[in-house]
Amino acid sequence: MTIQIHNTLSGKKEPLQTLEPGHVKLYVCGITSYDFCHIGHARSALAFDMIVRYLRYRGYKVTFVRNFTDIDDKIIARAQEQGTSSEELANRFINEFYIDMDRLGVDRPDIEPKATEHIKEMTDLIGELIGKGMAYQAGNDVYYIVDSFPEYGKLSKRNLEDMKAGARITVNEQKKHPMDFVLWKGSKPGEPTWDSPWGPGRPGWHIECSAMSRKYLGETFDIHGGGQDLIFPHHENEIAQSEGANGKPFVKSWIHHGFVTIRDEKMSKSLGNFLTIRDILDHYHPEILRFFIFSTHYRNPLDFSESAMKDATAGLERLYECVAAVDSLDPASADKTAKSILTPKDIKKVMELETRFQQAMDNDFNTAQAQGVFFDTVKNINRLHGKITGAPAAEDIRFLKNATALLKKLAAIMGLLTEDAQSFLAARREKRIADSDIDASAIDALIAERYQCRLDKNWARSDQIRDELLARNIELCDGPEGTTWSVKSK
RNA sequence: GGCGGCGUAGCCAAGUGGCCAAGGCAGUGGUCUGCAAAACCAUUAUUCAUCGGUUCGACUCCGAUCGCCGCCUCCA
């Protein structure tokens, strides 16, 4: 089985064939650091985190590069608003980004280049394009000549004629063609500047990715990724720059993930439906967000809502409940004379987990399908666990523990089931108590009273106490070790 | 207007032409319990927006229609 990946360039799923055997070279467009990251950035980071982990699990060496855009118009504007330098602002939000990524448990890429640390690579590349007649200086700016690259539009499937017709682009007198885009911008007074053969200025947005990917991954590499909104113009322009300068194919396969929407609208600041990663993590455990994001295939739109997060919570807890139940089996309590309850069919069903997981993930990283495989396995584990009556056979304990160990190993590729199951569930219960203003001692007193009622078989009063507490969103659970209580999930 | 994508049960969501159309949430029935709750088990789409076509056979391929979304300006 080979891994199939949907390639935006061809519009089809294609088998992964690395240029260098067993080594995937991956470049992903990172953030422009001028504000806190939102849930859409989280989806991007998590999608590629999962992809890298899966490729490594499948035995590939992966060189993963993700850049920081730390100089651009928005950064300059925001820095001026705040009375600070663009350097300080960009670095501050890079640090905030790391805080978010660490909370989400996202692994660091191998290389995280910053645009401002690669000005030389960019000016070299621009120089090459001018030398080839593919770029020109106009005033203090340098522009790319889109007409010089016949394949312009091949990624976004559009042509220059169509784009001119629907042009909503501000007319720029200096440009020879309205679609020509800027490689180098002459600086205005007060803006950050770097020296260049075309005078003081700063790089255009697209050139950094062409320059930095070439430096770290070479002129041609395997996979380039980002959000669907980057297809045009950003990635289209990267292709024009890189293939124009290098005369070689830029990227073998393009991966673009879908948006996060809220009430089916794309998040945007103008609509005010903007949720930052830390807004979400203040209310939900990081694994719940991960579970939610991976419950849909990465290319589909994903609609954020409280009810969707509630579903994700219930689903993740179901997985943890299964693991916790198996964890609580004590090998020392095994009955040496007990017969195994396992049938060859049971064993086969559970052992299919890894194959089925790989089939799902090989199919363009289909995490939604893979989650389905997890639940099938959980169902089987629970069924077998339920078949055990009395002291279990040692063989059965070993089998169930191996099964949950495998489940945890595979779920970890999506960053799920990484915590101790008992602790996770206990923390969930405590969080619910903490989130509600409940007087625990008063509840304990009522439980004590009810305990006496139950000994006296005074069911009426006993049930009355339970109903009173239930009205306050507190659930009682009568077990062999006494009564426990928990706050009901909404 | 140009280009791309999507429409599968109450909700979410897989499905790379052919055994009963995964899975989750919610619902229903059971096990457990004094009764419950939680947990677990079982169960829930003769049908895949609509209409045609190709095929021995289509949710899957092709065409048309309706509806929704995204990109074409910064954007994950």
Query: Is the distance between the Cβ of A455 and the closest atom of strand B smaller than 7 Å?
Result: no
C-alpha to C-alpha distance for A35 and A37, rounded to whole angstroms: 6
Query: Is the distance between the Cβ of A359 and the closest atom of strand B smaller than 7 Å?
Result: yes
Identify whether A420 is part of a domain: yes
Q: What is the mean pLDDT of chain A?
A: 92
> Residue A353 is part of which domain span?
284-426
A277: alpha, beta or left, given left = phi > 0 and alpha = psi -120 to 50?
alpha
User: Which whole number is the average pLDDT over A74-95?
Assistant: 96
Query: Is the distance between the Cβ of A266 and the closest atom of strand B smaller than 7 Å?
Result: yes
Would you state the pLDDT for residue A170?
54
Query: Is the distance between the Cβ of A462 and the closest atom of strand B smaller than 7 Å?
Result: yes
Would you state the pLDDT for residue A477?
86
- Whether A152 and A178 map to the same domain: the answer is yes
Would you state the pLDDT for residue A490?
53
In 3-state terms, what secondary structure has residue A178? coil
Q: CA A300 → C1' B67, Å?
A: 18
Identify whether A212 is part of a domain: yes
Pick out residues 392-411 of chain A having their CB under 7 A from any atom of nucleic acid strand B: none
- Over residues A402-427, the pLDDT tens digits come to 999 999 999 999 999 999 999 999 99
Query: Is the distance between the Cβ of A231 and the closest atom of strand B smaller than 7 Å?
Result: yes
Q: CA A229 → C1' B11, Å?
A: 28
Query: In chain A, how many domains are there?
Result: 3
Burial class of A482 by CB neighbour count within 10 A (0 to 12, 13 to 18, 19+)? exposed
- Whether A254 and A112 map to the same domain: the answer is yes
Which residues touch A165 (CB under 8 Å, ≥6 apart)?
none
pLDDT at residue A201 tops 90 = yes
- Whether A254 and A142 map to the same domain: the answer is yes
Query: Is the distance between the Cβ of A366 and the closest atom of strand B smaller than 7 Å?
Result: yes
**Which residue among A403, A426, A449 closes a domain?**
A426
C-alpha to C-alpha distance for A374 and A477, rounded to whole angstroms: 28
- Over residues A131-181, the pLDDT tens digits come to 999 999 999 999 999 999 999 999 998 888 777 654 555 556 678 888 999
Instruction: Name the least confident of A65-69, A214-218, A397-401, A457-461.
Output: A457-461
Taking alpha carbons only, the member of A447, A458, A440 closest to residue A481 is: A447
For a pLDDT cut of 70, what percent of chain A falls above it? 97
pLDDT at residue A459 tops 60 = yes
Pick out residues 331-350 of chain A having their CB under 7 A from any atom of nucleic acid strand B: none
β partners of residue A24: A62
Query: Is the distance between the Cβ of A327 and the closest atom of strand B smaller than 7 Å?
Result: no
Name the nt closest to A157 by C-alpha to C1': B3
In 3-state terms, what secondary structure has residue A477? strand
- Whether A168 and A258 map to the same domain: the answer is yes
- The domain that holds A65 is classified in CATH as 3.40.50.620
Would you state the pLDDT for residue A231?
95
Identify whether A247 is part of a domain: yes
Nearest residue to nucleotide B12, by CA–C1' distance, is: A308
Are A239 and A143 contacting, i.e. CB atoms less than 8 angstroms apart? no
Identify whether A303 is part of a domain: yes
- Whether A72 and A202 map to the same domain: the answer is yes
- Whether A243 and A360 map to the same domain: the answer is no
Identify whether A118 is part of a domain: yes
Name the nt closest to A206 by C-alpha to C1': B74
Query: Is the distance between the Cβ of A227 and the closest atom of strand B smaller than 7 Å?
Result: yes
**Which residue among A401, A426, A451 closes a domain?**
A426
- Whether A130 and A234 map to the same domain: the answer is yes
Q: CA A478 → C1' B36, Å?
A: 9
Helices (H) then strands (E): counts for chain A:
17, 15
- Whether A260 and A111 map to the same domain: the answer is yes
Identify whether A336 is part of a domain: yes
In 3-state terms, what secondary structure has residue A69? strand
- Whether A216 and A252 map to the same domain: the answer is yes
Identify whether A431 is part of a domain: no
- Over residues A422-437, the pLDDT tens digits come to 999 999 888 888 777 7
- Whether A210 and A128 map to the same domain: the answer is yes
Are A317 and A428 contacting, i.e. CB atoms less than 8 angstroms apart? yes
A257-284 burial string, b = 16+ CB within 10 Å, else e?
A: bbbbbbeeeebeeeeeebbbbeebbeeb
Identify whether A308 is part of a domain: yes
- The domain that holds A293 is classified in CATH as 1.10.730.10
- Whether A251 and A352 map to the same domain: the answer is no
**Protein-proximal nucleotides of chain B (any atom < 7 Å from a CB):** 1-6, 11-16, 22-26, 33-42, 68-76
- Whether A254 and A289 map to the same domain: the answer is no
